[in-house]
Amino acid sequence: MPDARRTLFETDGTGFIPTEAAGNPWGELTGGGPVAGLLARAIERAAADPEMFVARMTFDLMRPVPREHVAVSTRTLRSGKRLQVIEAELTRGEETLTRATAQLLRRSELDGPNSTSVPPFTGPDGIADGSLIPPELGLRWGVHDVVDVRWIDDQSSPDASRVWMRMPVPLLPNEPMTPLVHTATLVDCISAASPIGELFGPWINTDITCYLHRELAGEWLGMEIRRDVETSGIGVARARLFDTYSPIGTAQEAVLVNELG
């Protein structure tokens, strides 16, 4: 059996079992990032045409995902020459826990220069390793401890936090993460990585939506993150996404105050 800290899920022939490394800090549950990665993997496998690019993914985190056996299924809602829509569901028994919908658009080649825009901050080389959630909080060990984090401006920033992240372990044993799966697994972190601000939650996200215009190149995903919240206890975390070359897209999450205890 693989080391539970060396992969996010194990397979049992009919589905997937989250490992300790996929856990979240709130209990015996699975983090949203590993769940999003698993559904992104299913969507990518359901897309038969390599010229179709996943330009948008939305994950509705409808119910907590326990660290128990789960199954994943997909269905194609539309299959056109230029636009394809695929839905993926993560279930436990007959209950749907998370649903994802992806839009795939056909690639084409345009004349003209490639983007010369570069990330608006340095790194990740030469930046010290940090942590997504301060270890002094004493929260349950999980995926937030596994992810590699290098801060430019951390959650104490008054404007935007800026950070580089990568997932150093695979989603499944002996299966390297694709750029799409890697991106989906990391973007769940934008709520936790966003500036604390004057209204402290703590905040959790109930969804993830990312818009992509090209694939992540390399191991590191750069994020410039802001969060807008109200005294209603509801807000939005939003991020610009980069690799070490240029922008690759954006991500947003609905956030909600999570009362502890």
Hey, what's the torsion of the CAs at 41, 43, 48, 49, to 10 degrees?
-100
45-65 average pLDDT score:
95
Confidence of residue 1 (pLDDT cuts 50, 70, 90): very low
What is the spatial distance between Cα 173 and Cα 186, in angstroms, rounded to a whole number?
A: 18
| pLDDT score of 138 | 79
Where are the alpha helices (H) located in the chain, listed in sequence order?
32-46, 143-146, 179-187, 190-193
Report the predicted TM-score, pTM, of the whole model to 2 decimal places.
Answer: 0.93
- Render pLDDT for 226-258 as a digit per residue (tens, 0 to 9): 999 888 889 999 999 999 999 999 999 999 887
pLDDT tens-place string over residues 20-35? 999 988 778 999 999 9
Question: Selecting from 3.40.50.720, 3.20.20.10, 2.40.160.210, 2.40.10.10, what CATH number does the domain 9-107+123-257 have?
Answer: 2.40.160.210
Mean pLDDT of the 154-161 span = 92
Q: From start to end of 81-160, where are the E strands?
A: 83-92, 95-106, 148-153
**For residue 4, what pLDDT is reported?**
52
Residue ranges of the domains in the chain?
9-107+123-257
Give the integer Cα–Cα distance in Å for 154 and 132. Answer: 9
Q: What is the mean pLDDT of residues 151-164?
A: 94
Closest Cα partner for 90 from 16, 165, 28? 16
Q: Both tokens of residue 154?
A: 């951390």
Mean of all residue pLDDT scores within the chain: 91
* pLDDT at residue 261 is higher than 50: no
44 pLDDT higher than 80: yes
pLDDT the model gives residue 115: 66
Is 125 exposed, middle or buried (CB count within 10 Å of its CB: 0-12, 13-18, 19+)? exposed
Banded model confidence at residue 112, pLDDT cuts 50, 70, 90: confident
DSSP 181: H
How far apart are the C-alpha atoms of 209 and 223, rounded to whole Å? 14
How many angstroms separate the CA atoms of 20 and 28, rounded?
9
**Residue with structure tokens 């084409």?**
108
pLDDT given at position 120? 85
For residue 49, give both structure tokens: 């045409």
Q: CA-CA distance, 40 to 106, in Å (whole number)?
A: 18
Rounded to a whole number, what is the distance in angstroms from the first to the last CA of the chain?
Answer: 35
